[in-house]
Structure formats: structure tokens, C-alpha cells
Amino acid sequence: MKRNSLDDRQVLTEFLSPVNFLLHLSGKAYEKYMANKIYLHALNIRKANEMIYQLVLDKINYIPVNLQPDCIELLNHYDCWMLQFKDEEQKRKPSLTDEFVFYQLDSQMAYPRSSEQRIFEAYIKFNKQKNK
């Protein structure tokens, strides 16, 4: 795995462990949203996604080179998703129990699952290396 000149422990503790946790948090919020598509659950997805977004920006220097394109894909998705979320929120002014569903505006906005998967795989790999 090609990386910056950081040691594996730094990469794991500063970026991969927190982003792994937050991606799982976002995934859990999404599961709950899919079971009940109300504004409350949509807000939880947004909160988790905002934390991921900020972590990626704050820890940019800890992102392994091979994961940088994946992080760019995530940030781009979150930029589009959050803009659309804000627009829908302003139009509807929903309460917590209101249905809150919107659809991607184009095919370029889809969630980059393969990027997320590569981040999960890198976390597992770095974690195994740490425990050797």
C-alpha cells in the first residue's frame, strides 16, 4: 500500500480509526432512515456526514495516498448531498416526524460505495499490521 511518509500507527489513530467509526455511524443512521424516512433520521445522517467531511479535511495529511481519490469522491458526494438537503429543508421546513425524501439530481451524485469499501479495507489492513 503506497502511503505518505507517515507511520502506520499515525495513519490508523489520526485518520483510519475515526473515519471507520464515523462511516459506520452514518451507515447505521442510514439504516434507520431507510426503515422510517422521517426528518429526524435524515438529520442524523447529515450530522454523521458532516463529521466525516470535517475529519477528512482536518486530517488530510494523514490520508494514505492511495485513499485520497476515495476521500475526494466522498467529499464531492457530501458537497452535493448537503446542498440538496439544505435546499429541501428550506423549501419544506419539516418537523422531526415529517417524511423527508429527496432523490439525487443526477447520476454523478450517487454515494461512492466502492470508495467507502476501500477505506474499510484499509482500516482492517492497518489494524492487523498494528497488532503484529
pTM for this prediction: 0.90
Q: How far is it, in rounded angstroms, from Cα 111 to Cα 113? A: 6
CA nearest 60: which of 14, 93, 17? 14
The domains of the chain are located at 8-130
What percentage of the chain reaches a pLDDT higher than 70? 94
In three-state form (DSSP H/G/I as H, E/B as E, the rest C), the secondary structure along 48-107 is: HHHHHHHHHHHCHHHCCHHHHHHHHHHHHHHHHHHHHHHHHHHHHCCCCCCECCCCCCCH
Query: In angstroms, what is the C-alpha Rg of the chain?
Result: 16
Query: What mean pLDDT, rounded, does the chain reach?
Result: 92
